[in-house]
């Protein structure tokens, strides 16, 4: 499966480590930058990474900044994206199970790299529950147009 990944300067080191780890797990990673710790603007990286998920070039996205918040706000502007900013494995599990989230965002300044890897693992391995949640998820797109 292709995974779309991006970060700003605050998430760059975590992005590098997570890319290497995902490759060892057999995933193909599409890296939308940034490529250094030089200060940059998170929407420039979140938007193309989110578009790759929306147009199905990637099955899921992982987008990292200092808090995950800016990345989440930006990604959710893309039609078809359901980005969830998570801090715990249970949030990551429920983001997939109930919300069918297709992008995980988190803050490299708020959790350890090991915690971040755990979020990614849980997110990528949890299936959407469907049922009543399908109606709710469909309503998001019907009511908001994105
Ligand atoms: C960068 O300093 C920081 O604002 C950014 O990484 C992110 O936390 C924004 O939401």
Surface-to-core class of residue 31, CB atoms within 10 Å of its CB (0-12 exposed, 13-18 middle, 19+ buried):
middle
Q: Is 120:22 a contact under the CB 8 Å cutoff?
A: yes
- The closest residue, in CA terms, to atom 10 on ligand 1 is 70
For the chain, the domains span 2-144
Q: How far is the CA of 68 from the centre of ligand 1 (A)?
A: 7
- Specify the CATH number for 2-144; select among 3.30.830.10, 3.40.1400.10, 3.40.50.12140, 1.10.3720.10: 3.40.1400.10
pLDDT at 60 over 90: yes
Position 129 scores a pLDDT of: 98
Q: How far is the CA of 131 from the centre of ligand 1 (A)?
A: 36
Per-residue model confidence as pLDDT tens digits over 67-80: 999 999 999 999 99
> Ligand 1, closest atom to CA 10?
6
Split at pLDDT 50, 70, 90, the class of 82 is very high
Position 13 scores a pLDDT of: 98
Q: How far is the CA of 83 from the centre of ligand 1 (A)?
A: 16
Q: Rounded to a whole number, what is the largest CA-CA distance in the chain?
A: 45
CA distance 145 to 75: 14
CA distance 98 to 130: 7
What pTM did the predictor assign?
A: 0.97
> Ligand 1, closest atom to CA 73?
10
Per-residue model confidence as pLDDT tens digits over 20-36: 999 999 999 999 999 99
Q: What is the DSSP letter of 121?
A: H
Mean pLDDT (the chain) is 97
CA atoms within 13 A of residue 78's CA, in its CB half-sphere: 23
Give the residue, out of 46, 65, 69, 106, with the most ligand 1 atoms within 8 A of its beta carbon, to mutate for a pocket test: 65
> Ligand 1, closest atom to CA 67?
8
- The closest residue, in CA terms, to atom 6 on ligand 1 is 66
Q: Is 98 a catalytic residue?
A: yes
Going by C-alpha positions, the residue among 83, 3, 7, 102 that lies closest to residue 45 is 7
């Amino acid at each position: 499966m292709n995974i779309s990944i991006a970060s700003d300067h605050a998430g760059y080191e975590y992005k590098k480590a997570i890319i290497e780890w995902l490759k060892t797990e057999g995933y193909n990673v599409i890296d939308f930058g940034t490529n250094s710790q030089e200060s940059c603007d998170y929407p420039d990286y979140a938007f193309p990474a989110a578009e790759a998920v929306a147009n199905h070039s990637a099955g899921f996205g992982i987008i990292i900044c200092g808090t995950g918040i800016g990345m989440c706000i930006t990604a959710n502007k893309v039609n078809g994206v359901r980005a969830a900013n998570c801090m715990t494995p249970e949030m990551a599990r429920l983001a997939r199970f109930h919300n069918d989230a297709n992008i995980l965002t988190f803050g490299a300044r708020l959790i350890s790299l090991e915690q971040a890897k755990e979020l990614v693992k849980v997110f990528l391995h949890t299936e959407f529950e469907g049922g009543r949640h399908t109606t709710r998820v469909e309503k998001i797109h019907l009511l908001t147009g994105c």
